[in-house]
Structures are given as C-alpha cells and as structure tokens.
Amino acid sequence: MNERKNKQLYFLAGAVLGGLSTYYLTTPQGKKLRQNIANKTNEVANTVTEKHLRQQIR
C-alpha cells in the first residue's frame, strides 16, 4: 500500500512539474524567463573567460 501511494505521489509531482514547465516554455513570460537565463549565462561565461585569461597573463 505504501509503495502505491509513493507512485501516486511521484506521478502527481511529475504532472505538476510538467504543467509548470509547459506554461513557462510556451507563454510570453516563459520566453522572457528563457532570455533572462541566456543573458545571465552569457555574463557568467564572459566573467569566467576574462578571469581565466587574466590568470594566464600572470
């Protein structure tokens, strides 16, 4: 019985996460979120690259 409840809970959690993912990936808010993530990722990558290049110069 306990195993069955666990499976139901995992199924429900997966359905909720899938619904939220779909909402954010297919709406204008999702597009903005993806763009923000891409911008921040590029900023971090540039910072890491700059620090790495500075270390090589020393």
Residue 1: the pLDDT is: 64
- Band the pLDDT of 9: cuts 50, 70, 90: very high
CA distances (Å), 41 to each of 2, 8, 15, 18, 20, in order?
42, 36, 28, 24, 22
Q: Which helix (H) or strand (E) holds 30?
A: helix 28-57
Find out whether 30 and 23 touch, Cβ atoms under 8 Å: yes
58: pLDDT strictly greater than 80: no
Helix axes 2-26, 28-57, angle to 10 degrees: 90
Residue 13: the pLDDT is: 96
> What residues contact residue 13 under an 8 Å CB cut-off, 6+ apart?
none
Taking the model in full, what pTM does it have? 0.58
Give the mean pLDDT of the chain.
91
For the segment 8-37, the average pLDDT, to the nearest whole number, is: 92
